[in-house]
Amino acid sequence: MARRYDPERRQRIIDAAIRVVGRAGIAGLSHRTVAAEADVPLGSTTYHFASLDELLVAALRQANEGFASVVRESGALTDPRCDIADELARVTGRWLAADRTGVELEYELYLAALRRPALRPVAAAWCEGVARILADRVDPVTARALVALIDGICLQVLLTGGEYDAGYTRDMLGRILARGACPEVAAGHGAVPVD
Amino acid sequence: MARRYDPERRQRIIDAAIRVVGRAGIAGLSHRTVAAEADVPLGSTTYHFASLDELLVAALRQANEGFASVVRESGALTDPRCDIADELARVTGRWLAADRTGVELEYELYLAALRRPALRPVAAAWCEGVARILADRVDPVTARALVALIDGICLQVLLTGGEYDAGYTRDMLGRILARGACPEVAAGHGAVPVD
Amino acid sequence: MARRYDPERRQRIIDAAIRVVGRAGIAGLSHRTVAAEADVPLGSTTYHFASLDELLVAALRQANEGFASVVRESGALTDPRCDIADELARVTGRWLAADRTGVELEYELYLAALRRPALRPVAAAWCEGVARILADRVDPVTARALVALIDGICLQVLLTGGEYDAGYTRDMLGRILARGACPEVAAGHGAVPVD
Amino acid sequence: MARRYDPERRQRIIDAAIRVVGRAGIAGLSHRTVAAEADVPLGSTTYHFASLDELLVAALRQANEGFASVVRESGALTDPRCDIADELARVTGRWLAADRTGVELEYELYLAALRRPALRPVAAAWCEGVARILADRVDPVTARALVALIDGICLQVLLTGGEYDAGYTRDMLGRILARGACPEVAAGHGAVPVD
DNA sequence: AATGAATGAGCATTCATTCAT
DNA sequence: TATGAATGAATGCTCATTCAT
């Protein structure tokens, strides 16, 4: 009994869900685990969220902001003189190093959206969020490609257990940004022969 | 009783697992669902695969081949005169269009490696497999970036429900390839400079 | 459906567990057997007891009381003039004769503590419970030895299928009590010397 | 294939079973665990032992000798001048300290014999084995009581997780041996008043 | 004589959800 | 409104045993 009239309980449950997903993955999210983590009665979670999916969407929508805010807080990107490739590579490295839990959680969102259409808008917002921040410096198409490349590089690091290589990332982002730097090659999309 | 001596049972279980994941996602894969799909007794699945993870690894290893074989079969990549960016963009488009279920399955298994270390080596093999096919035409670092970018673009398509844009993809792959030709940028990061 | 709101269910499950162990041994105790015996749904047993060990502790705690209460009810022990050895031997005999099933159950749960640390505190309480009853008449060290000897004798009877010999038991308990009166022997080992 | 004609396989399986029971208890003994421990094919265990019980009896019969042989090897007991109580207490302490696995295994035998009549002769042999060794120095009845007391004391140590107290053990064994030392008290089996 | 494959029963446990209060 | 109790289904997994070879 006791704990009636707890207006922030709903929020506390969401926060707990984020911690649970961060720790054990979406597969580890259940009414029980989240109730235990939030220190609320089991019935409370089903009362505030009609289904687990509803809770999951609320949680992921909130957790969504990790990378975007890291990028936004990197004031450098707004400085027109900074090297975007270098700065993005650095920021990505910091993000990967700082809080692996948060990183895994955001990619878990990707995994989940694959099967749950309800999550697709949330996943789409992730991409757009980052792209919009870059919109002041690069055209939208390039921004989207930068996000895609960062995504792909991060996935390779996370999935293969490899080290993140900031120099490599900077160079590859640089290539995307440097459209036209080597006009004669880019023009024809020619292959780069190895020998 | 009845069905003793079924030498291909192990393979049949793997095939059934792939069908189950394709239909219901990894979350839908259980000893029971796969046993029902393969039409074998429950005990048979645990006999042939000591754990679900082991079955998942076998399934991922087999499903893994989808994109790689599409790329490999695109004989064009071995033709030194073809435009790699254009060809890769076209092949990717064909793959995405042909069998969305297969694509989703491949990415779901791929992303699952995030939480299941047992799957990581197989996920890593995915990247390397595609990169190796490109190895005849581009240096390894560039190959890895191409794979990363394709990964990122495919994910955006799958997750946002957007259309696949072959022209955009070709251009962005082209940028990565273009600068692969500029030794002063690639230098120092294991790139194989073009002489 | 049907049987919601059954406030004594928890106790009924414990009682059922004791019956199951009495009939089939600890090895025969499972959520399923106890649920069937208590006539409750399977989920009910796991709801009330988070693990089988927890149920076992509750059962042992309850079954535990058999010998202790027989001793306690033997009012004679509180009579300063009675012969403790004789009375303990008689009480032990009565306990062994009365309900062999109960005795075996008590020893089975007792011995199970060997492998299940969760049961150890309850097993320890068994010893202390009996020892405490004797505390009015003998020093604590002697009490512990009396309990140990009774334990050993009962085990021999139970395990070898031999007959219980009250005279032999009385004599041996008597020897332990007799030397309790010789301070020079007991001294130095926490014995309470008789002044 | 390969390993046909392995005349010692039966014995190797028994040895493996003892190790398994010592490590994980009787509950941990299965055809699978013992086959893995013995490094023989699963079918081999069922071939050599028609049932698990048969293997268990064979294993316990062999493991049975632990304490008895420790006592026997303590040559001191055959020296008429040695203090039996002291020597037994010391030997018991050494046994408990040396190899807790072996100790637990022997008591596991007790637990099992409670429910499996097939094991009772084995358990009875345990008691008699030790008693027989003492037969040269004390009368059979006293020998049995010594064994019972040692049993009870060991159980208390094992079950309550307490420390073994050699001095206490020597004193209590001494009381059983010292029949008649305090004739006036022993005669009447009088109680030992605390105050 | 020996064994790998097979299988159906059983295990402890977790679960989303329902519902009477 | 909020919740503890309840429950049936499902989970991964282990098992003793059988049996064709």
> DSSP characters for D36-73?
HHHT--HHHHHHH-SSHHHHHHHHHHHHTTHHHHHHHH
Q: Give strand letter and number of the nucleotide nearest A54 (CA to C1').
A: E16
* Minimal-distance CA residue of chain C relative to D152: C148
- Spacing of D173 CA from E10 C1' in Å: 48
Under DSSP, is residue A99 helix (H, G, I), strand (E, B) or coil? coil
pLDDT tens for A48-97 read: 998 888 898 888 888 877 788 888 888 777 777 888 899 999 999 999 98
User: Which pLDDT does position A184 carry in this prediction?
Assistant: 36
Cβ proximity of A185 and B178 under 8 Å: yes
The pLDDT of residue A69 is 82
Mean pLDDT, chain B, integer: 85
Closest CA to D149 of C137, C179, C63, C68: C179
CA distance B99 to chain A (A): 15
- CB-based contact (8 Å) between C115 and chain D? yes
pLDDT higher than 50, residue D32 = yes
Closest Cα to residue C177, out of D85, D186, D143?
D186
When computed from its CA atoms, the radius of gyration of chain D, rounded to whole angstroms, is 20
Residues of D in contact with C160 (CB under 8 A): 120, 123-124, 127
Q: CB B189 to CB A175 under 8 A?
A: no
pLDDT band at D5 (very low <50, low <70, confident <90, very high): low
Q: Do A189 and B83 touch (CB under 8 A)?
A: yes
Contact A148 B139 (CB under 8 A): no
- pLDDT (0 to 100) of residue D165: 96
* pLDDT band, very low/low/confident/very high, at D90 (cuts 50, 70, 90): very high
Residues of chain D numbered 14-73 and touching chain C (CB < 8 Å): 25, 27
Give the per-residue pLDDT at D66.
74
Tell how many helices (H) and how many strands (E) occur in chain D.
11, 0
* Residue A139, burial from CB neighbour count under 10 angstroms (0-12, 13-18, 19+): exposed
pLDDT bucket at B194, cuts 50 / 70 / 90: very low
C-alpha C8: how far from its chain's center? 25
B54-87, pLDDT tens digit by residue?
Answer: 999 999 888 887 788 888 888 777 787 889 999 9
Question: Can you give the distance from the CA of residue B30 to the C1' of nucleotide F10 in angstroms?
Answer: 10
DSSP B162: P
Interchain contact D161–C (C-beta under 8 A): yes
Burial class of residue A34 (count of CB atoms within 10 Å of its CB; 0-12, 13-18, 19+) = buried
A and C in touch (3+ CB pairs within 8 angstroms): no
Whether the per-residue pLDDT at D150 is higher than 90: the answer is yes
Q: Residue D48 burial (CB < 10 Å; 0-12/13-18/19+)?
A: middle
In the predicted structure, residue D4 carries a pLDDT above the cut 70: no
Calculate what percentage of chain C has a pLDDT beyond 90: 47
pLDDT at A189: 39
Cα–Cα dist B158/C125, whole Å: 63
Outline where chain C has alpha helix (H).
Answer: 9-24, 31-38, 42-48, 52-63, 65-73, 84-98, 100-112, 120-134, 140-160, 166-179, 183-186
3-state SS string for B160-185 = HCCCCCHHHHHHHHHHHHHHCCCHHH
> Closest nucleotide to C49's CA, by C1' atom?
E13
Is C125 an interface residue toward D (CB < 8 Å)?
A: no
Matching residue, tokens 């002697």:
C142
The predicted-structure confidence for B8-59, as pLDDT tens digits, reads as follows 899 999 999 999 999 988 989 999 999 999 999 999 999 999 999 999 999 9
Angle, CA A62 vertex, CA A60 and CA A63 arms, to 5°: 65
Side chain identity at B77, as an amino acid letter? L
Q: How many residues does chain B have?
A: 195
The nearest alpha carbon in chain A to B190 belongs to: A168
Q: Check CB contact of C136 with chain D, cutoff 8 Å.
A: yes
Beta carbons of A135 and A174 less than 8 angstroms apart: no
The per-residue pLDDT for D2 is 44
Is pLDDT above 50 for D61?
A: yes
Binned at pLDDT 50, 70 and 90, residue D6 comes out as: low
Point out the nucleotide closest to C54 (alpha carbon to C1′).
E12
User: Cβ of B4 under 8 Å from any chain A Cβ?
Assistant: no
Would an 8 Å CB–CB cutoff place B149 in contact with chain A?
yes
Task: Give the pair of three-digit tokens for residue A182.
Answer: 């080597």
Q: Write out chain C residues lying below 8 Å of D167, CB-based.
A: 188-189
Contact D122, D110 (CB under 8 A): no
Touching subunits of A (3+ CB pairs, under 8 Å) are: B
User: pLDDT under 70 in chain A at which residues?
Assistant: 1-7, 179-195
Q: Do chains D and B touch (3 or more CB pairs under 8 A)?
A: no
Residue by residue, pLDDT tens for chain C (195 residues) are: 455 667 788 999 999 999 999 888 898 999 999 999 999 999 999 999 989 999 999 998 888 877 888 888 887 777 878 899 999 999 999 999 988 888 888 888 888 888 888 889 988 888 888 888 888 889 999 999 999 999 999 999 998 878 999 999 999 999 999 855 443 333 334 333 333
C187 touches D: beta carbon within 8 Å: no
